[in-house]
Amino acid sequence: MGLVDLVTGRRGPSGFGSSSTAEDVTNGIDASNLTILITGGASGIGAEASRVLAMRGARVVIAARNLTAASEVKNAILAEYPKARIECLKIDLSSLSSVRSFAAEFLATKLPLNILINNAGIMMIPYELSPDGIEMQFATNHLGHFLLTNLLLDKMKETAKESGIQGRIVNLSSIAHIASYSGGIQFSHLNDKAWYSDTRAYSQSKLANILHAKELAMRFKAEGVDITANAVHPGFIMTPLMRHTFYIMRVLKFFSSFLWKNVPQGAATTCYAALHPSLKDVTGQYFVDSNKSNCSAYGRDPELAHKLWTFSQELIDKHSPS
């Protein structure tokens, strides 16, 4: 999908384009046999994705740091769709101990898990370390989701095997991944304040989301696991994610309004990747405007994806409870 397609909303090979909404791309899909977990489902495009997925009949588990906001989203969805099935559980993706606690709480519910949407994130924040001493954007946007996914994989494999329904993992990335640091991932300087750039650190974390999906897809194929993993760019949307760059983004939006989407359009590619039947067996791909697209050369580098996996696992192991 190119600039002309983005500006005009012209539909791509999938039949959808930049102007398509989450309701459009899921029209006619019955998801009543699915359980979907979405992180960051309490605001922005996550909240809209939660609403549309619930509208299509799925049981939706909203994992959020702010349970009050999550409950408000749940109540709003129930007001619109009284038969919706919504659960809310607390998670702080910047904290590995919180991710572990969440996973234990979710697994204790004995719910199946068909689809995992790693949606939550932070954007372009000033330099900060996570509770585990890891650069905050990398910790929240990538490492927390990396651990969460690993902790829930056995449940997803079990669900796919018992239900006969292919599982799906959807990682929310961004076109911003193209502006990461030289080399893609700053393995040696991840926590170095002197090297820190709020924009490049964000881009690095979004590149990590793509590489994570690529490596997952490769591993699933090698293991013969019936789960797919893909990454998506939702588009440019003014959401609470931009609270640290609000005024800059307002100016940018003023001069590039034709590139921006509303929230229902922003949630479309997520819902497309999660539910659309045409994506059965499609894995390791990057989607923009509900169509396959090309990511950066770093995002297509299998060696970098494997190195990131090893690096991430070492960080997790380093901070494992004794």
- Give the chain's mean pLDDT: 92
Q: Catalytic one among 81, 181, 196, 286?
A: 196
320 CB-contact burial (10 Å; exposed 0-12 / middle 13-18 / buried 19+)? exposed
Q: Which CATH architecture has domain 12-318?
A: 3-Layer(aba) Sandwich (3.40)
Residue 320 pLDDT? 84
Please answer whether residues 308 and 215 qualify as being in contact, where contact means their C-beta atoms are separated by less than 8 angstroms: yes
Locate the domains of the chain by residue range: 12-318
The string of pLDDT tens digits covering residues 144-201 is 999 999 999 999 999 999 999 999 999 999 999 999 999 999 999 999 999 999 999 9
Tokens representing residue 319 in the block: 């901070």
Q: Kindly tell me if the per-residue pLDDT of 252 is higher than 70.
A: no
Q: φ and ψ at 63, to 5 degrees?
A: -100, 120
Residue 196 known to be catalytic: yes
248 CB-contact burial (10 Å; exposed 0-12 / middle 13-18 / buried 19+)? exposed
The string of pLDDT tens digits covering residues 57-85 is 999 999 999 999 999 999 999 999 999 99
Question: For the whole model, what pTM was predicted?
Answer: 0.92
The string of pLDDT tens digits covering residues 199-232 is 999 999 999 999 999 999 999 999 999 999 999 9
Locate the DSSP E strands across the chain.
35-39, 59-64, 85-90, 115-118, 167-172, 227-233, 236-237, 260-261, 286-288, 291-293
Write down how long the chain is: 322
Least confident of 48-52, 304-308, 317-321: 317-321
Smallest Cα–Cα separation from 174: which of 118, 238, 239, 233? 233
Q: Kindly tell me if the per-residue pLDDT of 244 is higher than 90.
A: no
Residue 102 pLDDT? 98
Alpha-carbon gap, residue 207 to 114, rounded angstroms: 25
Alpha-carbon gap, residue 58 to 60, rounded angstroms: 6
Least confident of 101-105, 145-149, 249-253, 265-269: 249-253
Residue 259 pLDDT? 60
The string of pLDDT tens digits covering residues 80-117 is 999 999 999 999 999 999 999 999 999 999 999 999 99
Residue 253 pLDDT? 40
